[in-house]
Amino acid sequence: MEKKITKNNHFDDIRISTIYAGIKKTPNNEDDLLLIEFETKSSIAGVFTQSLTSSASVNQCKKNLKSSKEPIVRAILVNSGNANAFTGKLGEETVLKISKYLSTKLNCNINQIYTASTGVIGQQLDPNLIIKNLKLMSSSKKLDWLGAANAIKTTDTFPKFIKRKCKIHGVDIEIIGIAKGSGMIAPNMSTMLGFIITNANLSSNILQKLLLLSNEKSFNSITVDSDTSTSDTVLLVATRKAKHKIIHKITDSCLNEFKLCLSSLMLDLAKLIVRDGEGASKFITIKVTGAVSKKSAKIIAFSIANSPLVKTAIAGEDANWGRIIMAIGKSGQKADRDKIQIRIGNELVTKNGMVYENYSELKATEHLKQDDIFLNIDVGVGNFSASVYTCDLTNRYIEINADYRS
């Protein structure tokens, strides 16, 4: 049955419905199908996985965005439990059949229907099951963002939902975001699934530029296990209900507060995904400074973040800093051996090409006993920096993924 939710004046033209369709195996029949409807034509932008085996839904969303200079959206349909990836032409036909049903129901063009799927790869998604449950959803106008976030979970242990408020031209603006993800997270564009909605009066062209800017320092700066999903999707929607002046350029100073607000929301959503990493017990921030470029700093940071040896050492609260040195070296990026400085928390570990003479492993180990770990690395060859966020690697990760389909 559809969830009950409170109404929000900033989004009184949106309806959210969730239902248990039986796609996802859960002991308590938790909802696994989400429909977000927009009564009016809303602007939309998106970023997607760069996987060469992307899902049928990802391919559909990309096609929709390219169908017009100013793409619009009337509905977003999301299912969990089945990724509809590597399902061939049947998978594409499934998306088409579901989209045709919704476009007829909403009296809109089929390219205004966006879908997303997450779950097991390689299993066919039954379109008739989806359509049957869409018919069972009630038509009452209710909003339940938390229920929406719950419906798109797979191995997530908690729903990921954040909202922010700001102003454009003195007009109140709200941004709401939900996301899912806890494993198969090493996106080269986004996260597993994320949906961000605002009442701002912004065109799709402006939204796309804003999304790309904010994505680079948020969803594009996290990793759990170095694997990239077939289904990674982040959609940003603007209902355009706010009564502020039209923004024509992304450089307009009136957008400054909105940019900060959007970036903050996306970064916090991304961090929630890392905190919920499969089996994770520690949240790790890796900041690399002194690099020859931002790109180089980020590559080095990811090399450290994706190292199983670094991640397991942190899980075991072992200040084995030699593994960080290893990860810097294998990155292939410029670093000056004699200038590399590593800090675990506030404790300086290396200096002048060797262990620092006053280094205290006891203090470094004490820091690793915390839930939030900070690794700061200066590679001594430039003035650029980047931060990447990850988690530790525990036995629980193996247990979850060895039994994922059960």
Catalytic site residues? 191
CA-closest candidate to residue 278, choices 369, 148, 399: 399
pLDDT tens for each residue of 191-235 = 579 999 999 999 999 999 999 999 999 999 999 888 777 888 999
The confidence score (pLDDT) of residue 330 equals 97
The top-level CATH class assigned to 9-275 is alpha beta
Place of tokens 């049957």: 132
| C-alpha–C-alpha distance, residues 62 and 47, integer Å | 9
Q: Assign domain 283-402 one CATH number from 3.40.190.10, 3.40.50.2300, 3.10.20.340, 3.40.1440.10.
A: 3.10.20.340
At position 382, the amino acid (one-letter code) is G
Q: Is the pTM of this model over 0.85?
A: yes
pLDDT of residue 7: 43
CB-based contacts of 133: which residues, under 8 Å, 6+ apart?
Answer: 19, 21, 33
Question: The dihedral of CA 288, 289, 291, 297: what is its sign?
Answer: positive
Closest residue by Cα to residue 288 from 187, 381, 384, 188: 384
Largest CA distance in the chain: 72
Contact 281, 392 (CB under 8 A): yes
Q: What is the mean pLDDT of each run of 10 residues along the chain (406 residues)?
A: 46 93 90 95 93 93 96 97 95 98 97 95 97 85 87 92 96 97 59 90 97 93 84 95 93 97 96 90 97 98 96 97 98 98 98 97 98 98 97 88 76
Q: Confirm if 58 and 47 have CB atoms less than 8 A apart.
A: no
pLDDT at 27: 83
HEC letters along the chain: CCCCCCCCHHHCCEEEEEECCCCCCCCCCCCCEEEEEEEEEEEEEEEECCCCCCCHHHHHHHHHHHCCCCCEEEEEEEEEEECCCCCHHHHHHHHHHHHHHHHHHHCCCHHHEEEEEEEECCCCCCHHHHHHHHHHCCCCCCCCHHHHHHHCCCCCCCCEEEEEEEEECCEEEEEEEEEECCCCCCCCCCCCEEEEEECCCCCHHHHHHHHHHHHHCCHHHECCCCCCCCCCEEEEEECCCCCCCCCCCCCCHHHHHHHHHHHHHHHHHHHHHHHCCCCCCCEEEEEEEEECCHHHHHHHHHHHHCCHHHHHHHHCCCCCCHHHHHHHHHCCCCCCCCCCEEEECCEECEECCEECCCCCHHHHHHHHCCCEEEEEEECCCCCEEEEEEEECCCHHHHHHHHCCCC
> What is the CA 343 to chain-centroid distance, rounded?
28
Q: Where are the domains of the chain?
A: 9-275, 283-402
Helix 88-106 with 56-66: angle, nearest 10 deg: 50
Q: Are 268 and 162 in contact (CB under 8 A)?
A: yes
Residue 166 to residue 261: CA distance in whole angstroms: 7
